[in-house]
């Protein structure tokens, strides 16, 4: 695959990042406290990804300046210290927030697969590095959300009074 085709794919990645921003921002509107903060921080991280891709698309260069570091610029991760039982219960008690986590899981998984696929077809080393960095971040987001969803399941059934048959 030619790098200009991958660059066209980066446009699709930018759309995916904006979709993630929308999901996280809408979830933040429905949340309070630490849960609201979590979704706001995720939205901000996805905006960073979008802006990074946009800059790359415009310049077609990355990390050519020694002061720039893709991994550092795309820094961010789940702050497990704020994720406690109350946080998980708030997520589990809201169908809208539970749906936001599920939607975000799908968006992160799709982005991870696309970036890995594009990285495998890219020819320019700088482009490969960018796409692999993005794929790694999306993988971390996916794993964080998957863990949260697993923890939410325990409370979801209790909160909604589901009983076994």
pLDDT tens-digit readout, 60-115: 655 444 444 555 555 544 445 456 778 888 888 888 888 898 999 999 999 999 89
Cα 69 to Cα 38, 116, 143: the distances in Å are: 25, 19, 23
Q: Per CATH, the architecture of 3-61+80-156 is what?
A: Up-down Bundle (1.20)
pLDDT digits (tens, 9 = 90+) for 35-59: 999 999 999 999 988 888 888 777 7
Element (H, E) at 106: helix 95-121
pLDDT at 29 over 90: yes
Residue 1: per-residue pLDDT: 45
Quick one: how far is CA 9 from the chain centroid?
17
């Amino acid at each position: 695959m030619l790098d200009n085709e991958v660059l066209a794919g980066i446009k699709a990645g930018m759309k995916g990042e904006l979709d993630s921003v929308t999901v996280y921002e809408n979830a933040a509107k429905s949340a309070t406290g630490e849960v609201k903060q979590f979704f706001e921080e995720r939205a901000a991280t996805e905006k960073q990804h979008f802006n990074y891709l946009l800059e790359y698309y415009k310049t077609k260069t990355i990390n050519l300046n020694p002061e720039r570091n893709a991994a550092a610029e795309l820094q961010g991760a789940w702050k497990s210290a704020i994720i406690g039982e109350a946080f998980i219960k708030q997520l589990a008690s809201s169908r809208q927030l539970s749906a936001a986590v599920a939607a975000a899981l799908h968006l992160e998984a799709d982005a991870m697969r696309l970036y890995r696929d594009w990285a495998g077809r890219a020819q320019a080393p700088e482009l490969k590095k960018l796409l692999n960095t993005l794929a790694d971040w999306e993988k971390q987001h996916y794993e964080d959300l998957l863990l949260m969803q697993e923890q939410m399941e325990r409370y979801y059934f209790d909160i909604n009074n589901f009983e076994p048959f």
